Amino acid sequence: MAKNRFGSGYQHGSEITDNSLRKAYMMAHEFAHAEYAQTPGAEGVLKEFHKNGEFLEDKFEKLGVQPALRDPEIKKLNQQQIDTGNRLEHQAHERAWEVVTIMNRLLQVLCALFTLCAATVGQTATDASAVPCEKLPTIRELTSKEAKRVLAAFGYNLRQPYDCTKLTSRWYGTSMVLLFRSVPTRLDDQTNFSVVFTSSPHEIWVLAIASGMVEYPRVESDPHNLAAFNALLAGQTVPTTDPEWISLARSYLAIIGHEKAMLSPQISCAGGECTVELSEQQSPQVLIQWALSFDKTGRTARLQDVSRELGKRE
């Protein structure tokens, strides 16, 4: 199955720290779907999307996901469903973000006038390449009892349809990293997570990224996710050049679902620490500004902290 191009529909839900604006964003996202439904031709698109979703759900339940996808027509329809769902969610996201950006500006003006508050949006503290997982049943690590047990502990079941991507990077060594995004059979219903299989020692790490279209808050700095990435780095040498530091930083961001190309990289090292700053274009006007701090005093680099802020592209 092809890689999801846009990711979750609520693309900026976890970036909004003001609770009122966060709720407004999610409401605006839903109203954007309703707004789209009133446009010419939308009724036919939505009717076909829901009809195809019900058909695929029925086939996946009766035959199993992978056996069903061996049928070329079902595989083609499944890809069509992924593309349509991504397009509809991305349109709703852009409309919702437009609405909330205007609201935030108005709030900032009011706050400045009445000195009541300082409402803000986005003030939160890979070199990896990606290829589709064409044959999930052949990935031995996923079929083991241990893998199923760990996935079940996080509430994941691979009998459900997922769009799977295998991430590759020199920093992963002989370990394996898989990125999963659930196939949308209906709007606003998607789950994202990664699974890391380290080779030495053999461990299985599950990184929960998003549920119900919303990315988990501060997923980038979750201690569990940092530990999983540091486990991947066992046996790897400390980067010695700027391109290597950039490559290392991008390899982590890919694991948490941010595998897009990065802009304007900057590296600063002082003492035993190096910080990599990168910008990710989330939409034509919006950038996510990442900062990843690494400890380089040991035999291998260790990721210590990750932060992000939203910025506007000039």
Q: Where are the domains of the chain?
A: 13-114
Instruction: Using a cut of 0.75, tell me whether the model's pTM lies above it.
Output: no
Virtual torsion, Cα 154, 180, 251, 149, nearest 10 deg: 30
Model confidence at 38: pLDDT above 90? no
Nearest to 135 by CA among 84, 65, 55, 195: 65
Model confidence at 113: pLDDT above 50? no
CA distances 197 to 147, 194, 207, 275, Å, are: 9, 10, 11, 26
Model confidence at 69: pLDDT above 70? yes
More confident: 33 or 253: 253
Q: What percent of the chain has pLDDT over 70?
A: 75
- Range with the poorest average pLDDT among 61-75, 109-123, 226-240: 109-123
- Range with the poorest average pLDDT among 134-148, 216-230, 269-283: 134-148
- Rounded to an integer, the average pLDDT of 85-100 is 75
Would you give the DSSP letter of residue 161?
Answer: -
pLDDT band for position 228 (cuts 50, 70, 90): very high
- Range with the poorest average pLDDT among 123-127, 168-172, 187-191, 209-213: 123-127
CA 136 – CA 306 distance, rounded (Å): 31
Q: What is the chain's mean pLDDT, rounded?
A: 78
